Amino acid sequence: MKAKYLLASLILVSSFLITSCGIFGKFTKSKWSKVEREAFMSTCVEGLAGTPDIDAEDYCNCMLEKLEDKFPNAIEAQNIDELQLQEWAVDCLQDDGKKKKKK
């Protein structure tokens, strides 16, 4: 189980790095752009592809919501501390498990 959280955290860190590089155009200070959201989701979902017991789309959406609530854009999101990232990963993985049980 710990490996699952670590994998999810590593995927998110790499998603931040790819998303927030300048290759995606201008970033605003006020909010996440559509390009930033799409880049994050694409990288996150692709990174979790084939991971059993994780609905990548739900998990990545959950993490994106948490990131957008706390950080004004993808560049600022790089400042997240590892403990916060892990706590969110646990929350999102638990939320995903509750959704699967209801289906």
* Backbone φ, ψ for residue 21 (5° rounding): -70, 155
Per-residue pLDDT of the chain (103 residues; tens, 9 = 90+): 555 655 666 566 556 544 544 444 444 445 899 999 999 999 999 999 888 888 999 999 999 999 999 999 888 898 899 999 999 999 999 876 455 544 4
pTM of the model as a whole: 0.69
Question: Residue 66 carries which side chain, given as an amino acid letter?
Answer: K
